Amino acid sequence: MQVPQSRPNLGPLEAAAVQEVMASGILSLGPRVKLFEQAFRDRLGIAHACAVSSGTAGLHLCVRALGLKEGDEVLTSPFSFVASANCLEFEGVIPRFVDIDPVTANIDVNRLASAVTPRTRGILPVHVFGQTVDMDAVGAVARESGLVVIEDACEALGAAWNGRPAGTLGDAAVFAFYPNKQITTGEGGMVVTASDEAFSLMDSMRNQGRADDGGWLRHERLGYNYRLDELSAAVGEVQMRRLDELLAARARVAALYERHLASLDGLELPRRVPPAEVSWFVYVPRLEAGLDRDVAIRLLGERGVQCRPYFPPIHLQPYFVRKYGYREGDFPVTEALAKRTISIPFHGLMSEAEVLYVRDCLREVIGLLRGRTAA
């Protein structure tokens, strides 16, 4: 059996929406982007939504719109996709990494206050794997020190903290729509904010710094081509209409894994920690310490089970090592966890038979690895 790592959940409604856009002849700067943005405003109950070409683009716009400048520091997690630090580097802002909580894999909020320096201007928490950071604690530190908060909610559409939706818990937030996300547009992202000023800046900057009055080829500020096209927006708007269905399908598969992997020795399952409400992005258990995760991924791949390491620590990526001189041991919780995490196949269309096959392969591979360790 071949079990892919992920698979987008697309159907006839998305295909029909794409066909309608193609027939209209309006492929950019049209009505579908506005409908997609409206769907986010309605879902989150927030004033502004700004569709962009990627989650990374959205994070970059947040950094600029919230006034972060070269030499400023922003507290963020070393356990994330590299974009959450790259977006700061684009503007010469220094990512000041804070180690993670060993249970949730999110930034350890108990370390935030002591990490603040005179140069700290913001916090960029990442809702890793769809489980929200303790945003009450983040907000308290931000208020105490006068910091802006950019929520990286790229993996967390549909998640919540203490009943409040992810994306509404900071000064601005970003969602992303890569094919393995809760909804997909292929590529693409959405920035949301309650700030009129921040939205006005982002709306302009995503379209080459176009003037606020929409004047044709009149550019008020430095900008970028971070626009989302109409075809992608059409898919996204349909996916938003289906969001509850898509989230339920992913929760069903997560529940199957919890049931069938619970008794599997050598594997620690993801833990949900209330009042965080998880929106399942990926399913990432942890191998017991001492087992070679990379060998496990290779052996599972040989059996048709496609797995990935999530995430290699950002501070040990070559760019950050060269620039800042990071070394192994700088963030020990992140490093220890990163050696054990294994993202197993996960998407809303998985069957119970596929889940059972993944379980059986995991059992076999863990047994092989334990045998090697004992030898």
pLDDT per position as a tens digit, 158-195: 999 999 999 999 999 999 999 999 999 999 999 999 99
Same domain, 144 and 196: yes
Predicted confidence (pLDDT) per residue in 229-251, tens digit: 999 999 999 999 999 999 999 99
Q: Give the integer Cα–Cα distance in Å for 214 and 276.
A: 41
- What region, left, alpha or beta, does residue 299 occupy, with left being phi > 0 and alpha being psi -120 to 50 degrees? alpha
Q: State the pLDDT at residue 374.
A: 54
Same domain, 104 and 188: yes
Share of the chain above pLDDT 70, in %: 98
Residue 293: φ, ψ to 5°: -60, -40
Same domain, 172 and 207: yes
Q: State the pLDDT at residue 137.
A: 98
Q: Is 343 helix (H, G, I), strand (E, B) or coil?
A: strand
Q: Give the integer Cα–Cα distance in Å for 228 and 241.
A: 18
Count: domains in the chain? 2
User: Looking at 219, 241, 263, which one is the last position of a domain?
Assistant: 241
Q: Give the integer Cα–Cα distance in Å for 298 and 314.
A: 23
Which whole number is the average pLDDT over 79-93? Answer: 98
Tell me the average pLDDT of the chain. Answer: 97
Same domain, 225 and 252: no
Which whole number is the average pLDDT over 251-262? Answer: 98
pLDDT band at 37 (very low <50, low <70, confident <90, very high): very high
Confirm if 59 and 84 have CB atoms less than 8 A apart: yes
Its domain, for residue 217, covers 12-241
User: Looking at 184, 213, 241, which one is the last position of a domain?
Assistant: 241
Share of the chain above pLDDT 90, in %: 96
Lowest mean pLDDT among 39-43, 212-216, 354-358, 361-365: 212-216
Q: State the pLDDT at residue 213.
A: 72
pTM: 0.96
Say if residue 375's pLDDT is above 70: no
pLDDT band at 214 (very low <50, low <70, confident <90, very high): low
